[in-house]
Structure 1
Amino acid sequence: MEKSVLSDYIDACEFLKETEKEIKKLEGKRRIVQDKVKGSNPEWPYEERSFALGGVVETDEDSDRLRHERRLREIQREAAEELKLRVEEWMINIPFRMQRIIKYKFFNRLSWDEVAVLLKAKSGESIRKEFENFMKQ
């Protein structure tokens, strides 16, 4: 596993959240129409009344475009989920100390010095070197 994949993992997680919002936004892009009509009260006394009507109008073109955009977002989401799963499977198989280093540095975006404090290490530089040596293996 390369260091760049860890950064991609963060982006993939964020991308998943953003994609879900975009899909919901696409579904909300329907055109709503409203109108009023006059008619009779259905029961006695039969007097003239005004009724409000409303609904969603979609042309075939709008519907096709929406379906296409939604499918693209689904494909992007699946790719991001696949990357996320690969990184999580890899993380299970590495030492716990390295899992903590990666979690603090890449997932929580802490500095090397902040990671060193959490791990009770001498310095951020020693943690960075430990990480780099691990990644070379």
Structure 2
Amino acid sequence: MTTYSQVKKLVSEFEVNYPRSCRVDLDILSPIDTMEMWQNADRAGVYFLFDKNDGLQYIGKASMSSSIGARIGVRFSSKNNSCVDLTFSDVTQIATIPMDDGHEFEAPAIEEYFIKLLTPPLNVTGK
């Protein structure tokens, strides 16, 4: 299973190998069940969901007319800190790559790149 530290290293390598005008840096792991709003909740970007052992479970994106908080909110309730989609019941942590304003369109390409590279177990090919 791919861990957070391995994902962090690969994201750093991505930034070096594919330089762009917006920052591509993976933020620290933070808990899903926080009473605070999720990191970068109001931004477009790519999010990585991890289990309690820092194992990567899922990669998703929020682009153009969405936000990371809205996308994660489909699966987790920020009101009572519970999992709404039982497929994601092992997920306990999140890390994000927020897109700079004007670069929201890059989120789908970055998400697809990392899904293909890392093949997280909860990402289903063809959806």
TM-score (norm 1): 0.23
Structure label with greater radius of gyration: 1
Higher helix share: 1
Higher strand share: 2
TM-score (norm 2): 0.24
